[in-house]
């Protein structure tokens, strides 16, 4: 095999993998089939992608688009190797995103790729960063799916003023996060409690709270940790785990990034 896939994160209806291919001009392309709908960001290298939607040469920043069950080939006639960040979606999960994008009607992709468009630059960069922080990939998958659906439909990005009903729903989510910030809080779970689709929940949450659910959870955990560092003599590792951080190094890195000092220095100060 010339390609290896490393699963970075997954949830109900979605998964993200880092795919590295070492094929070169001397390697024959093999026909494959997309097991799910796929949006893959080319991170490095280049290759020719042939599918039932057409053919295109893909380079860094471009997006490969694949439909569930569609056959495709990836060829490296001109240079060896590439690396992609592949987002795969179950039809029902992607349908929830498409339904929330004004003007979007199609679940299947009618073209094989999108070039490195300026309108996609932000979400592509976010995905590259989130690959190192898997807990951010669920939000990134939603944003990427919505951005692609918007580009393909010609819809303008953005969301109107949230309704009073949506504000009540997001308020319930904010209170739930406050009460359970130490727990795993995937977006699909929060969205179900708010009776909203994950994509609509993400966009509305950001409009109401001024940040994404992941950012709000992280802010809440760090705030609770900062208070405990000053008010208690509890070991730093214990505070990190009690506040929902999976390991001490992650807690130290994120605390320093936000607070400007290490947890130990913050406690002493």
Domain for residue 96, yes or no?
Answer: yes
The CATH code of the domain that includes 129 is 2.60.120.10
Q: Parallel, antiparallel, or unpaired: how do β-strands 54-58 and 3-11 relate?
A: unpaired
Are 174 and 142 in a shared domain? no
Domain membership of residue 139 as a residue range: 3-153
Domain for residue 159, yes or no?
Answer: no
Are 119 and 36 in a shared domain? yes
Quote the pLDDT of residue 207: 87
Are 103 and 206 in a shared domain? no
**Contact call for residues 79 and 42 (beta carbons, < 8 A):** no
Are 43 and 76 in a shared domain? yes
pLDDT means per 10 residues in the chain (269 residues)?
A: 89 95 87 95 92 90 94 88 94 90 85 90 90 92 94 71 87 89 92 91 89 90 92 94 92 91 91
Quote the pLDDT of residue 28: 84
Are 123 and 59 in a shared domain? yes
CA-based R_g, the chain, Å: 21
Global pTM value:
0.82
**Contact call for residues 94 and 37 (beta carbons, < 8 A):** yes
**Which H or E element spans position 41?**
strand 37-45
Are 24 and 76 in a shared domain? yes
Quote the pLDDT of residue 80: 87
Are 122 and 138 in a shared domain? yes
As a three-state string, the secondary structure of the chain is: CCEEEEEEEEECCEEEEEEEECCCCCCCCCCEECCCEEEEEEEEECEEEEECCEEEEECCCCEEEECCCCEEEEECCCCCCEEEEEEEECHHHHHHHHHCCCCCCCCCCCCCEECCCHHHHHHHHHHHHHCCCHHHHHHHHHHHHHHHHHHHHCCCCCCCCCCHHHHHHHHHHHHHHHHHCCCCCCHHHHHHHCCCCHHHHHHHHHHHHCCCHHHHHHHHHHHHHHHHHHHCCCCHHHHHHHCCCCCHHHHHHHHHHHHCCCHHHHHHC
Are 11 and 114 in a shared domain? yes
For the stretch 144-199, pLDDT in tens is 999 999 999 876 655 567 888 988 899 889 989 988 999 999 999 999 989 999 99
Are 190 and 102 in a shared domain? no
Separation in Å, CA 78 to CA 25, 81, 178, 185, 219:
6, 10, 54, 45, 47
Task: Please give the structure tokens belonging to residue 175.
Answer: 């209170």
For the stretch 27-42, pLDDT in tens is 888 899 999 999 999 9
Domain for residue 68, yes or no?
Answer: yes
Quote the pLDDT of residue 263: 95
Are 125 and 221 in a shared domain? no
CA-CA distance, 210 to 170, in Å (whole number)?
Answer: 12
The CATH code of the domain that includes 228 is 1.10.10.60
């Amino acid at each position: 095999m010339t390609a290896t896939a490393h699963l970075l994160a997954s949830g109900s209806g979605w998964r993200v993998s880092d795919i590295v291919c070492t094929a070169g001009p001397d390697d024959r392309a093999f026909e494959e089939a997309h097991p799910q709908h796929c949006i893959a960001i080319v991170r490095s290298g280049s290759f020719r992608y042939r599918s039932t939607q057409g053919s295109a040469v893909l380079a860094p920043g471009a997006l490969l688009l694949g439909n569930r069950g569609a056959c495709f080939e990836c060829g490296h006639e001109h240079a060896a190797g590439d690396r992609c960040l592949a987002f795969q979606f179950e039809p029902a999960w992607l349908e929830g995103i498409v339904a929330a994008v004004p003007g979007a009607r199609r679940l299947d992709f009618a073209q094989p790729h999108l070039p490195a468009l300026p309108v996609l630059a932000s979400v592509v960069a976010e995905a590259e960063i989130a690959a190192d922080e898997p807990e951010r990939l669920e939000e990134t998958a939603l944003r990427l799916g919505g951005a692609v659906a918007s580009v393909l439909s010609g819809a303008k990005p953005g969301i109107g003023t949230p309704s009073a009903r949506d504000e009540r729903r997001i308020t319930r989510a904010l209170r739930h996060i406050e009460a359970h910030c130490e727990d795993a809080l995937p977006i699909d779970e929060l969205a179900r409690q708010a009776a909203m689709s994950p994509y609509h929940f993400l966009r509305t949450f950001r409009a109401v709270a001024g940040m994404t659910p992941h950012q709000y959870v992280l802010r809440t955990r760090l705030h609770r940790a900062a208070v405990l560092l000053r008010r208690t003599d509890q070991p730093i590792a214990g505070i990190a785990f009690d506040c929902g951080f999976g390991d001490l190094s992650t807690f130290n890195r994120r605390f320093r990034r936000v607070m400007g000092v290490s947890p130990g220095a913050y406690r002493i100060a």
